[in-house]
Amino acid sequence: MSNGETCNGPVVLVVEDDRNLNRNLSMVLKADGYHTIDASTGQRAIEEVRTRNPDLILLDLGLPDFDGLAVVPMIRANSSAPIIVVSGRSDDSDKVRALDAGADDYLTKPFSVPELQARIRATLRNHARVLDGTATTVEFGPYTFNLAARSLMRGDDRVHLSPTEFRLLGTLARHLDCLVATDVLLKETWGAAYRNRDDYVRVYMHALRRKLESDPTQPKHILNEAGLGYRLSPSAT
């Protein structure tokens, strides 16, 4: 814990082995009303997640004991708290791997403090909407989708979804039978930095249809309105 200060705001775990950056991030977060916990290794991060239950995790990928990409699923196995990766790695492949492993957003170093603050606020808002939504269980066709429990069932059988597929379907489910614009799907599933990556949506919608539709070429539930976005239909059309 940093300096033993009392704060009633959300708890943010800062996982960063650069002491100066860790200190600066903690100062910025405290000024915004957050309480911070510091960890300089992946192992310490996992221990803090298990024992302190932070509300959000900022995770660097270049840790001395683990590659941060391996830490993401370890954290996700113990907590549903949102994870924002903060890394100097700028390759799309690293971003995709981090998001597929369970991260909620990816911010490339160097970054501006206002952008980090905005990403944290947006991520916490999106997470709160999932937790506090009145309709946490959505039914469409033969499926029951529980957003809070992070499960998709077809009768008694669980349907496996990757973390990215879950977030994408979750966005559609929260707007059941309503058109969701592609830029909204990108922002809520991958983060604001991906607002121009329409190809991500197409690829993952194709993957979801292969898992959920009896005939992916003639979808009944995950419907596309060309040039506009997608809609999750509660019943076969």
CATH (domain of 32): 3.40.50.2300
Query: Which one of 36-50, 83-97, 155-169 scores highest in mean pLDDT?
Result: 36-50
Q: Distance between CA atoms of 46 and 39, rounded to whole angstroms?
A: 9
Q: Identify whether 124 is part of a domain.
A: yes
Give mean pLDDT, residues 191-217.
Answer: 87
Domain containing residue 226: CATH number:
1.10.10.10
Are 155 and 142 in contact by the 8 Å Cβ rule? The answer is yes
177: alpha, beta or left? (left if phi > 0; alpha if psi -120 to 50): left
The residue with tokens 């998001």 is 99
**Cβ neighbours of residue 37 under 8 Å, at least 6 residues apart?**
1, 2, 11, 12, 13, 14, 48, 52, 54
Q: Which amino acid is at 62?
A: G
Could you tell me if residue 203 is inside a domain? yes
Same domain membership, residue 228 and residue 159: yes
CB 2, CB 24: distance < 8 Å:
no
User: Three-state DSSP class for 96?
Assistant: helix
Q: Where are the alpha helices (DSSP H) in 86-178?
A: 92-101, 113-132, 163-174
% residues pLDDT > 90 (the chain): 38
Q: Structure pTM?
A: 0.57
User: Among the three residues 131, 149, 168, which one is the final residue of a domain in this structure?
Assistant: 131
Residues 125 and 158 in one domain: no
Domain-embedded: residue 237: no
| 119 and 74 both lie in a single domain | yes
Would you state the pLDDT for residue 136? Answer: 73
Q: Tell me what pLDDT residue 1 has.
A: 38
Q: What percent of the chain has pLDDT over 70?
A: 90
Are residue 25 and residue 118 in the same domain, yes or no? yes
Note whether residue 5 is domain-resident: no
Count CB neighbours of 89 within 10 A. Answer: 18
Are residues 88 and 26 part of one domain? yes
**3 found inside a domain:** no
Point out the least confidently predicted range of 50-54, 60-64, 110-114, 131-135: 131-135
Assess if residue 4 is contained within a domain: no
Among 107, 131, 155, where does a domain finish? Answer: 131
Q: Do residues 103 and 72 touch, judged by C-beta distance below 8 A?
A: yes
Beta strands in 8-155 (DSSP E): 11-15, 35-39, 56-59, 83-87, 105-108, 137-140, 143-146, 151-154
Q: For residues 76 and 105, state if they share a domain.
A: yes
Q: List the alpha helices (DSSP H) in 53-162.
A: 68-76, 92-101, 113-132
CA atoms within 13 A on the CB side of 70: 9
Report d(CA 38, CA 27) in Å as an integer. Answer: 12
- Cis peptide upstream of residue 110 (ω within 30 degrees of 0): yes
Residues 83 and 149 occupy one common structural domain: no
On whether residue 112 sits in a domain, the answer given is yes
216 and 107 co-located in one domain: no
Q: Do residues 90 and 42 share a domain?
A: yes
Q: How confident is the model at residue 234 (pLDDT cuts 50, 70, 90)?
A: confident
The per-residue pLDDT for 184 is 85
**Are both 54 and 157 inside the same structural domain?**
no
Same domain, 150 and 50: no
Domain that holds residue 63: 11-131
State which of 92, 110, 131 marks the end of a domain: 131
Q: Cβ neighbours of residue 103 under 8 Å, at least 6 residues apart?
A: 59, 72, 83, 84, 85, 163
> Structural domain tally of the chain?
2
- Span 73-86, average pLDDT: 87
What's the DSSP call for residue 194?
Answer: G
Q: Does residue 114 lie in a domain region?
A: yes
Assess whether 89 and 163 both reside in one domain. Answer: no
